[in-house]
Amino acid sequence: MLRVAILGAGSMGHTHAAGWAATDAKVVGVVALDRGAAEEVAALCGAAVYQGLDAVLPQVDIVDICLPTYLHLEFTLKAAAAGKHIFCEKPIARTVEDGQKMIAACNAAGVRLFVGQVIRFFPQYRKAYDALQDGKIGNLAVLRLTRVGYRPHSSFENWFGDVNRSGGPLLDVLVHDYDYARWMGGEIERVYTRCSPPDAGSTAPVTTYFKAAPGAVADVGIPLSPLEVDPYTAIIQHFYDAVQHDKPFAVTPEDALAAVQIGIAALESAATGKPVTLTPLPEVN
C-alpha cells in the first residue's frame, strides 16, 4: 500500500479523492489554501488536512497535483526532489519549457511522472482508437473533434480567466483533443486556429486544424459505450498499478508535453492568424 498526498481541493481534488478510494492506497493528507474545501476532500478519503506540502511530504510516496496549471512546475520539482512519484493534472504545464523541466527533474530523481490525459481512458475514445489500429475503419483521412464547455464562474484568484496562467480554453480544455488527435493520427506538423472573440455571456467558437505527417491521419465516428468504470477512477487505478508494479504508462509525460506544444501553437496561430509549424521536441520520439 502506497501513501498519497493530494494538493488542491477544487473540482479535480474532489474527483481524485474519489478515485483513490477505489484503490488500496492510503490518502494521508490534503493540502489547499481553502481550509474548508480541504476538509471536504479529506473527508472523502479519511485523510488529514495539512497547511503545506513540506509538512506532509515525509509521510507519503505519491504526490497528486490538482493545482492550477502555472503551479505544476513548482510543486513537481519539490516532490521529485523528495523522491516522490507524481500524478499531475493536465495540462502538464503552461509552457513547453516548464514541462521539459518537470520531465527532466523526475528523470534525474528516478521518480515517475504521470499526467492526467483522461480522454484515453474513456471507452468511446478507446474503441475508436482500437478500431483504427485493428484496421476496421480503413486509413485515417480526417479527424473531427468537438468539445463544449462553460466559462468557470469561480476559481482560485480567477486563475483560469488569466490566459498567462492557464492558457485559456485553447490550452487547458482542448489539450484533451490535441492528445487524442496525436494518439490517433501521429505527430502533428502544423497547426492553424481560428477563434471568434466572445461578447459578454456568449459562446466563443474555436476551430483548430492540424496537419499530420504523411500517412499518419481520420474520419471516424466515436462509438457509443456505457461508462462501466468512471474514467477518472480508471486513470488513477492505472497510475497506481503502474507505479506499484513498474509497468509502463498508457500515456507518457512526453505525450502530455507534445499536447502542450500543440496548444501553444494553437494560441500563437489564433493571435497571428497564421499557421504554426511545430519543431520536433527532443523528448518526443
Least confident segment among 53-57, 121-125, 152-156, 266-270: 152-156
Give the per-residue pLDDT at 25: 98
Give the per-residue pLDDT at 141: 87
User: What CATH architecture applies to the domain 3-117+228-249?
Assistant: 3-Layer(aba) Sandwich (3.40)
Mean pLDDT of 188-196: 91
Judged against a pLDDT cut of 50, whether residue 57 lies above it is answered with yes
CB 57 within 8 A of CB 84: yes
Give the per-residue pLDDT at 277: 97
Residue written as grid cell 481553502: 34
CB 166 within 8 A of CB 267: no
- Bridge partners of residue 65, in order along the sequence: 7, 88
Give the per-residue pLDDT at 218: 43
Give the per-residue pLDDT at 148: 79
Q: Is 281 exposed, middle or buried (0-12, 13-18, 19+ CB in 10 A)?
A: middle
Nearest to 259 by CA among 118, 91, 116, 125: 91
Judged against a pLDDT cut of 90, whether residue 200 lies above it is answered with no
Nearest to 42 by CA among 20, 67, 57: 20
pTM of the model: 0.90
Percent of residues, the chain, with pLDDT higher than 70: 87
> Per-residue confidence at 116, pLDDT binned at 50, 70, 90?
very high
Judged against a pLDDT cut of 50, whether residue 220 lies above it is answered with no
Taking the C-alpha atoms of residue 157 and residue 91, their distance in angstroms, rounded to an integer, is 19
Convert the pLDDT of each residue in 228-268 to its tens digit: 779 999 999 999 999 999 999 999 999 999 999 999 999 99
Mean of the per-residue pLDDT values of the chain: 89
CB 20 within 8 A of CB 43: no
Convert the pLDDT of each residue in 140-176 to its tens digit: 888 889 887 766 655 667 888 888 999 998 999 999 9
Judged against a pLDDT cut of 60, whether residue 127 lies above it is answered with yes
Nearest to 84 by CA among 6, 32, 20, 12: 6
Nearest to 85 by CA among 57, 109, 63, 53: 63
Ranges in the chain annotated CATH 3.40.50.720 = 3-117+228-249
Give the per-residue pLDDT at 203: 47
Give the per-residue pLDDT at 160: 80
Least confident segment among 26-35, 135-144, 172-181: 135-144
Nearest to 228 by CA among 87, 88, 126: 126
User: What is the DSSP track for 23-50?
Assistant: SS-EEEEEE-S-HHHHHHHHHHHT-EEE
What nine digits make up the cell of 73?
512546475
CB 41 within 8 A of CB 6: yes
Convert the pLDDT of each residue in 61-103 to its tens digit: 999 999 999 999 999 999 999 999 999 999 999 999 999 999 9
